[in-house]
Amino acid sequence: MAFVPIDDRDGWIWMDGEFVPWREARVHVLTHALHYASSVFEGERMYEGQIFKLMEHTNRLFRSAEVLDFRIPFTVAQINEACKETCVRNGLTNAYVRPIAWRGSEQVSVPAQNTTVHVAIAAWDWPSYFDPETKKKGVRLCWAPYKRPSPETAPTEAKAAGLYMIGTINRHYADARGYADAMLLDWRGYVAEATGANVFFVQGDRLITPPADGAILNGITRQTVLEMLAARGLEVEVRHIKPEELSGFDECFLCGTAAEITPVSEIGDYRFTPGDISLGLLADYDRLVRGQG
């Protein structure tokens, strides 16, 4: 299938309260967010006409904006409705939804109190983040060259565009070496997360995952997985994980809105075999988001 640039498509984008043709949804070259990364965003999925955990995503968008010290000029209810309307306007029932809020072009300097805050919402078809057949076998990850920063040095609790520069560099590093993704350590040297997904490990019938202590983004899918595991009665240990511990783990999987549940077969020199827990969660999560679980 031929590559279609994301900015050259038919459709509609919700922008500051109204729908504009897809190709006309533009910002000025001096937009503050372009120069100083003053923007926050969400990644959401619509399944069978329903956006999964929409309220949780929108609430996080507003919290992220607050962390970056700007106010979104719409209510949570208005953004929720706009997300749904954007999918309807584009004729979508299964889609990826991207709300984003950013500082405008009135002021190009580190201080930005005089800028206007804008909001846009786009939605488009986006199949599985990883090839479905590869997912069942487990994707291959390398170790990332860049670490997750300390919460003392960056607003790590926010889903802020600037933090994803690290993810882009690390993902390109992985792609160039034939891997599906890269696993990041945090600033202390503990296992953190992949470039756009959280990670869980399985040891027997027990699961281990890093804590949301500023080293990772506390993903909405991560929180959903924790709820699913609790419902199953499975023990989950939330703690710091040293890289050398990976030799003692049986299974590994990533989770995120884009990644959904993705089993992992290797991280660097460490090997895992997708088994009952990760493959079972993959199937259960698919049923849950489609309203069947």
69 and 143, same structural domain?
no
pLDDT range class, residue 268, cuts 50, 70, 90: very high
274 and 146, same structural domain?
yes
C-alpha span between 123 and 101 (Å, rounded): 15
Nearest to 84 by CA among 117, 121, 59: 121
CB 120 within 8 A of CB 16: yes
What pLDDT was estimated at residue 130? 72
154 and 61, same structural domain?
no
Helix (H) or strand (E) holding 20, with range, is strand 18-21
CB 228 within 8 A of CB 282: no
| Residue 159 known to be catalytic | yes
Q: ∠ CA 118-62-221 to the nearest 5 degrees?
A: 120
Residue 99, in any domain of the structure: yes
154 and 57, same structural domain?
no
| Residue 207: Cβ-neighbour burial (10 angstroms; 0-12, 13-18, 19+) | buried
Residue 178, in any domain of the structure: yes
53, 84, 135, 159: the active-site residue:
159
For residue 40, the 8-state DSSP code is: E
Q: What is the CATH number of the domain that holds 32?
A: 3.30.470.10
110 and 149, same structural domain?
no
For residue 153, the 8-state DSSP code is: T
Location of structure tokens 């009952």 = 276
Write the pLDDT tens digit of every residue in 187-205. Answer: 999 999 999 999 999 999 8
146 and 87, same structural domain?
no
Residue 20, in any domain of the structure: yes
Write the pLDDT tens digit of every residue in 38-47. Answer: 999 999 999 9
Tokens representing 181?
A: 């993704």
Residue 1, in any domain of the structure: no
Residue 53, in any domain of the structure: yes
138 and 119, same structural domain?
no
- Domain boundary (124, 140, 164) is at 124
- Domain boundary (124, 142, 161) is at 124
Residue 6, in any domain of the structure: no
Question: Span 128-133, mean pLDDT?
Answer: 71
Q: How far is CA 285 from CA 2, 53, 138, 172, in A?
A: 31, 13, 16, 28
Q: ∠ CA 97-73-70 to the nearest 5 degrees?
A: 95
Domains: count for the chain: 2
Rounded mean pLDDT of the chain?
A: 95
Beta strands in 52-178 (DSSP E): 95-103, 117-124, 139-143
Q: What is the CATH number of the domain that holds 222?
A: 3.20.10.10
139 and 115, same structural domain?
no
Residue 115, in any domain of the structure: yes
Bridging pattern class, strands 117-124 and 12-15: antiparallel
139 and 108, same structural domain?
no
Helix (H) or strand (E) holding 51, with range, is strand 50-51
Judged by DSSP in three states, 121 sits in: strand
115 and 153, same structural domain?
no
Is the model's pLDDT at 2 over the cut of 70?
no
145 and 93, same structural domain?
no
186 and 70, same structural domain?
no
Q: The domain containing residue 137 runs over which residues?
A: 132-289
Bridging pattern class, strands 206-209 and 235-238: parallel
Write the pLDDT tens digit of every residue in 47-86. Answer: 999 999 999 999 999 999 999 999 999 999 999 999 999 9
- Domain boundary (79, 96, 124) is at 124
pTM here is 0.94
Write the pLDDT tens digit of every residue in 205-238. Answer: 899 999 999 999 999 999 999 999 999 999 999 9
Residue 3, in any domain of the structure: no
